[in-house]
Chains A and B, each alone.
Chain A
Amino acid sequence: DIVVTQSPGILSLSPGERATLPCRVSQSVSSISVSWYQQRPGQAPRLLIYAASSRATGIPERFSGSGSGTDFTLTISRLEPEDFAVYYCQQSRIFGQGTRVEIK
């Protein structure tokens, strides 16, 4: 079975800094099957990136996705206050454990 791993579980950064969130899949997969979501406390998840690198409708340009094979990355170029949240990587039907981006 495929395993999706997001590490670290918590990333402590300051507003304005760059955030790099890795996602590792236990076997090589098609980039089409990888997406990223943001979840703020008490809210539903929001699709940020699909097909590894395509931004969803209405998502700011500071969010970008990259990667192929087994290693994928979500990058937030400059953290805004509203970006402090939990981010999930999804491969096909499988979600990673999430990375919490917290204010340092």
Chain B
Amino acid sequence: EVQLLESGGGLVQPGGSLRLSCTASGFTFSTYTMIWVRQAPGKGLDWVSTVTGTGATTYYADSVKGRFTVSRDNSKNTIYLQMNSLRAEDTATYFCAKDRGGSGWESDSWGQGTLVIVSS
């Protein structure tokens, strides 16, 4: 059974930093692209970042480019999202998700999310 467990969320001041982690189990982690998606309170889903299986290629939403960095450690079955220069509009639940592995961009497994609140 695929399991994804996010951690690292919390309250941070504007301009601060936070690092999220997502630890995976139940599949061959290194062969799958992984994704971060966020959801502001009461709002819809918002793609944040994608990292390929080797970690060699990463993608970012324009809203976080230059501030967030995605990485992975395949020896620990974990992906990370380093978030710097945080803004109030970054307040959201952050989900990590596993790419299905097909030709599209769909995610077939999701964690339960970790809440990030950016506020003074």
A interface list, Cβ under 8 A from B = 32-35, 37, 39, 43-47, 50-51, 56-57, 88, 90, 92-98
Q: Main SS of chain A's interface residues? A: mixed
A9 to chain B, nearest CB (A): 10
Chain A, Cβ-Cβ closest to B45: A95
Q: Which residue of the partner chain, among A33, A46, A92, contacts B110 with CB atoms under 8 Å? A: A46
> Which B-chain residue is minimally distant from A91 (CB atoms)?
B105
Please, which residues of chain A bring their CB within 8 A of the CB of B59?
A: 93
Q: Interface residues, chain B, CB within 8 Å of chain A?
A: 37, 44-47, 50, 59, 61, 95, 97, 100, 102-108, 110-113
Partner of A50, one of B50, B61, B104, B111: B104
CB of B44 within 8 A of CB of A44, answer no
With A and B bound together, what is the CA distance between A96 and B112 in angstroms? 21
Across the interface, do A47 and B106 meet the contact criterion of CB distance under 8 Å? yes
User: In the complex the two chains form, what is the Cα distance from A59 to B106 in whole Å?
Assistant: 15
